[in-house]
Chain A
Amino acid sequence: MEGALTPDTRPAPAAPPPATAPARETQLFTAPEIMCGGCLRTIETALAETPGVEAARANLSARRVSVTFDPDITSPELIIAAIKHAGFSAAPLIEGRDEVHAARVSELMPRVGVAGFAAANIMLLSVSVWSGHASDMDEHMKTLFHWISALIALPAIAYAGQPFFKSAYAALSARRLNMDVPISLGITLATAMSFAQTMRGTHHVYFDAATMLVFFLLVGRLLDESMRARTRSAAENLMSLKALTATILDADGTVRQIPSRNLQPGMTMIVATGERIAADGIVSDGLSEIDESLISGETLPKRVARGDRVHAGTLNTAAPLRVTTTATEDNTLLAELSRLMLAGEQTRGRYVRLADRAARLYAPAVHLLGLGTLIGWLVAGHGWEIALTNAIAVLIITCPCALALAVPAVQVAAISRLFGQGVLVKAADGLERLSEVDTIVFDKTGTLSLGEPTLALDQPIDADVLARAAGLAIMSRHPYAQAMVRAARARGIEFDPQMGINEIPGSGLSMMTPEGEERLGSALFTGVTVTDPRQAASLWFTRPGRAPVGFRFEDRLRSDAPATIAELKSAGYQVEILSGDRPDAVADAAHVLGVSAYQGGVRPDEKLARLTDLKQQGRVTLMVGDGLNDGPALAAAHASLSPSAAADIAQNAADAVFQGEKLGAVVEALKVARRAHRMALENFGIAMVYNIAFVPLAVMGYVTPLLAAIAMSTSSILVTGNALRLRGMNLKLAPVAASKDQVQE
């Protein structure tokens, strides 16, 4: 970059390699297994020994590693390999789709520091002045102290109050009212009046109250924002780990790994058995079965051969494939889904947050009260000066400090409680919307169920047979084979991995024994004639001289799904199942769960239509889904949840992501959301009581600076303390019937 500022117009030398400064890149990687202090050193030491790495620093709080490296020598893939070699899984960080934030943590922190400094120092001076009333402090000294306070307060408020002023200005220019409008007005008036009073040398100086107000509100906002940043970063870590990499076969025959986002149309990918396909494409070689459950909800694998189209995110189950990538054209599934998602988001409309709804009522009331005070004192014949002072005192005392903390304090407590339980609330207003829900729509595959095949338990299988079959199955990466191994291990059956196994892709496994050939595979491969159509997708195990044994697999429901659905129903929620899977599979699941409203074979646009339908009936819906096909429905629902194993599009669209095997997280999220809603209202109540107590004093002209400072801090502390109770509370899911009045505006 040197010479950029000199007016040198000569053409730059063709290739001036800057010998001193090699190109450096810094990239973040997520490594979720960083759990201890020792891990930091292990990773940093491993990376320090990697050629091309200039600096590496692991972060225990964020579970991330920041690496600066020379891209000419090493690459992100090599760095990940080095971290993996050290014993940790890692993936390049992909940043999620961000919302527009009013203020960020890095922007708020210095403002909190400045406001804290100002509040502490001004309070020191103010306490002297107040105690001076009782002792012999003379007027000059008081005025001097006021001037010093002004000197600190004016620049501090001008700098630290900016988040509020900006937000209020944005709201006013959009002809709306939010909580920041009365806050900004209160702060500005308090400061301006105090300055005027200081110049005249009188007593109504509120610098302490104004700076403390800014400080408290900033702390509330900082906590809110940092909790949100923490959940967002955890959600990004989850997504990054799931991001796909593709194995590319170049024209010259070399094979390399690249992240899926670097894929270009026309590349040839090699997709191994058990891998997810990284991009849309057309099969150019191979014959396999594709599990499309993440896209369509269909649990039965689909056969693909040369010339067939395959979609990103689907799982190759049977045999390696070569896939030629295609461009994301307008007619692909993904493009269609994005269009539907956009349509879904539009039907949701703008949600007005609780605090802003309160501000709409509160701000006009307060401003009228101020005006009333002014007119009242004028009518009583006290002149402009006193009337104005008292009117401003009313506005200062009603400045909604506690009201502005009422919602964020509760949100911080609620989100951190849910964070501890593995539920990451990503959307800023997600909890509020979640609390208003009365109808819950579930997807089946991957949401109510685990989304992976499990050996069905309704058939008696001999332990000996299972052990033998598992011994064969352990050699294969086919989902059925892996499910069989899991089932054998779950039953505590010991088995020996067999040698000399031959895998025939798309068919099964075979092994020669002295007695003859043992086969584990499809009906066709094992030569079994199937009469029951349900057995078609199963595995058969044949041994010479014995009857064939069939293994049926099912997509098992999450262990606590029946209990969860029962709890939701008993609390009065309407529960529905909308799935892209075969209607009979959906009917089975619905029957087990006791859900009467269900639909199978539903396409993404039909899911969206159903949700729009429900909305028109006046229902407030929560969509719980994981597949790409749920994306539009998740975007359209009033609130949405996704399991952490969900497709990235679904996770991006959802308000919250829950981790782990338990569906009970849905109930917990609802409980906390509704309790948080009640608590926010409680906090509004506390703030109101304080106003009712102090506003009459202000109207009468009895509010002194001391009283204002005490009133404002105590109400803020009360409201925050009340919110903190949420963290340890024992919650029950209350009946939902009463929430009908909470409909979206």
Chain B
Amino acid sequence: MTSLAWLIPAALFLGLLGLAAFMWALKNGQFEDLEGAGWRAIDDQPPGPQGNKAPQGGNKKPE
């Protein structure tokens, strides 16, 4: 039973890690173009000089 003392915090920590990763992804616009992201992955040309840089704020509406 004493193993629970570290198993539960460990499980919660891993869960929180996942949550943090999700939040990070949301904030960085990883979910903004789900279709396009798939195509970019199979595009085998080298990245252009600046073409693949995302503008600030991704595709959000400009303030």
Known contacts A25-B62, A109-B26; is A61 also within 8 Å of B51 by CB? no
CA distance A712 to B40 in the complex (A): 41
Q: How far is the CB of B50 from chain A (nearest CB, A)?
A: 5
Q: Assess the A28–B62 pair: CB atoms within 8 A.
A: yes
- In this complex, what residue of B is CB-closest to A67? B55
CA A57 – CA B48 in complex, angstroms? 12
Which of A27, A113, A148 touches B26 (beta carbons < 8 Å)?
A113
Residues A48 and B59 in contact, CB atoms below 8 Å apart: no
Which residue of chain A has its CB nearest to the CB of B5? A144
Contact A55 B59 (CB under 8 A): no
Closest to A105 in B: B31
In the complex, A242 has a CB within 8 A of chain B: no
Contact with A along B18-50 (1 / 0, CB 8 A): 110011001000011111101110110100111
Is A114 in the interface zone, CB < 8 Å from B?
A: yes
How far apart are A97's CB and chain B's nearest CB, in angstroms?
Answer: 15
Is the beta-carbon distance between B39 and A36 smaller than 8 angstroms?
Answer: yes
- Which of A60, A110, A113, A141 makes the CB contact (< 8 A) with B33? A60
> Which of B32, B51, B56 sits near A68, CB closer than 8 Å?
B56
Are B56 and A59 in contact, CB atoms less than 8 angstroms apart? no
- C-alpha spacing A113/B26, complex, angstroms: 10
Q: Which residues of A contact B18 (CB under 8 A)?
A: 117
**Given A56, A66, A95, A114, which contacts B51 in the complex, CB threshold below 8 Å?**
A56
User: Please, how many angstroms separate the alpha-carbon atoms of A340 and B39 in the complex?
Assistant: 48
- For the complex, give the distance between the alpha carbons of A68 and B48 in Å: 16
A57 to B22, CA, bound (A): 22
User: Which residues of chain A come closer than 8 Å to B59, judged between CB atoms?
Assistant: 28, 57, 59, 62, 64, 66
**B34 surroundings in chain A (CB, below 8 A):** 61
Q: Across the interface, do A48 and B49 meet the contact criterion of CB distance under 8 Å?
A: yes
Residues from chain B with a CB closer than 8 A to the CB of A409 are none
User: What separation, in Å, do the CA atoms of A287 and B62 have in the docked complex?
Assistant: 43
The answer to whether the Cβ of A124 comes within 8 Å of any Cβ in the partner chain is yes
In the complex, the answer to whether A40 meets B39 with C-beta atoms within 8 Å is yes
Q: Collect the chain A residues with CB atoms within 8 Å of residue B43's CB.
A: 37-38, 40-41
CB distance from A330 to the nearest CB of B (A): 32
On whether the beta carbons of B39 and A44 are closer than 8 Å, the reply is no
A214 CB to nearest B CB, Å: 15
Closest to A151 in B: B12
Q: How many A-B residue pairs have CB under 8 A?
A: 104
State whether B54 touches A57 (Cβ < 8 A).
yes
What is the CB-to-nearest-CB distance from A276 to chain B, in angstroms, rounded to a whole number? Answer: 27
Given the known interface contacts A38-B43, A61-B34, A141-B1, the answer about A56 and B55 at a Cβ–Cβ threshold of 8 Å is yes
Q: How far is the CB of B23 from chain A (nearest CB, A)?
A: 6
Nearest-neighbour CB distance to chain B for A151, whole angstroms, equals 9
Contact B33–A28 (Cβ < 8 Å): no
* B8 engages A66 (CB within 8 Å): no
Could you mark each residue 638-679 of chain A with 1 if its beta carbon is under 8 Å from any beta carbon of chain B, else 0?
Answer: 000000000000000000000000000000000000000000
Given contacts A37-B42, A60-B39, A121-B15, contact A110 B26 (CB under 8 A): yes
Is there an interface contact between A148 and B8, defined as CB atoms closer than 8 Å? Answer: yes
Which bracket fits the contact residues of B? 35 or more
> How long is the Cα–Cα vector from A67 to B58 in the complex, in angstroms?
9
- Tell me, rounded to whole Å, the shortest Cβ–Cβ distance linking B36 to chain A: 3
B10 at the A interface (CB under 8 A): no
Which residue from chain B places its CB closest to the CB of A64 in the assembled complex?
B59
- Closest CB of chain A to B45's CB: distance in Å? 7
Instruction: Check A121 against B51 for contact (C-beta < 8 Å).
Output: no
A47 sits at the interface (CB 8 A): yes
Whether A45 lies near B19 (C-beta < 8 A) is no
Q: With a CB–CB cut-off of 8 A, which chain A residues contact B57?
A: 26, 66
Report the bound CA distance from A38 to B36 in whole Å: 10
Chain B residue at smallest Cβ distance from A27: B62
- CB contact under 8 A between A48 and B48, given known A28-B61, A61-B33, A113-B23: yes
Residues of B within 8 A of A117 (CB): 15-16, 18-19
Query: Is B3 interfacial (CB-CB < 8 Å)?
Result: no
A44 and B36 form a contact (CB under 8 A): no
List of B residues within 8 angstroms of A27 by Cβ: 62
Q: Is A452's beta carbon under 8 Å from chain B?
A: no
Contacts of B8 in A (CB 8 A): 125, 148
B50 touches A48 (CB 8 A): yes
Contacts of A457 in B (CB 8 A): none
Which residues in chain A, 99-120, are within 8 Å of chain B measured between CB atoms?
Answer: 106, 109-110, 113-114, 117, 120
Q: Which of B11, B15, B26, B62 contacts A26 (CB 8 A)?
A: B62
What residues of chain B lie closer than 8 Å to A121, measured between beta carbons?
Answer: 11-12, 15
Q: Determine whether the beta carbon of A26 is less than 8 Å from that of B33.
A: no
Q: Which residues between 59 and 90 of chain A lie within 8 Å of chain B, taking CB atoms?
A: 59-62, 64, 66-68
B18 to chain A, nearest CB (A): 7
Q: In the complex the two chains form, what is the Cα distance from A125 to B11 in whole Å?
A: 11
Of all chain A residues, the one with the shortest Cβ separation from B63 is A26
**Residues of the A chain whose Cβ atoms lie less than 8 Å from the Cβ of B45:** 41
Q: Knowing A37-B42, A60-B35, say if A44 contacts B26 (CB, 8 Å).
A: no
In whole angstroms, what is the CA distance A502 to B34 when docked? 53
Q: Is A58 an interface residue (CB 8 A)?
A: yes
Residues of A within 8 Å of B31, CB to CB, are 109
- A61 to B32 Cα, complex, angstroms: 8
Identify the A interface with B (CB < 8 A). 25-28, 36-38, 40-41, 44-45, 47-48, 54-62, 64, 66-68, 95, 106, 109-110, 113-114, 117, 120-121, 124-125, 141, 148, 152
- 17 new A-B pairs (CB below 8 Å) besides A37-B43, A48-B51? A26-B56, A41-B51, A45-B51, A48-B48, A54-B55, A57-B54, A57-B55, A61-B32, A62-B33, A66-B57, A66-B59, A68-B55, A95-B61, A113-B26, A117-B19, A121-B11, A121-B12
Q: What are 5 A-B interface contacts by the 8 Å CB criterion?
A: A26-B55, A54-B55, A55-B54, A57-B54, A61-B34
Residues on B lying within 8 angstroms of A by beta carbon are 1, 4, 8, 11-12, 15-16, 18-19, 22-23, 26, 31-36, 38-40, 42-43, 45, 48-62
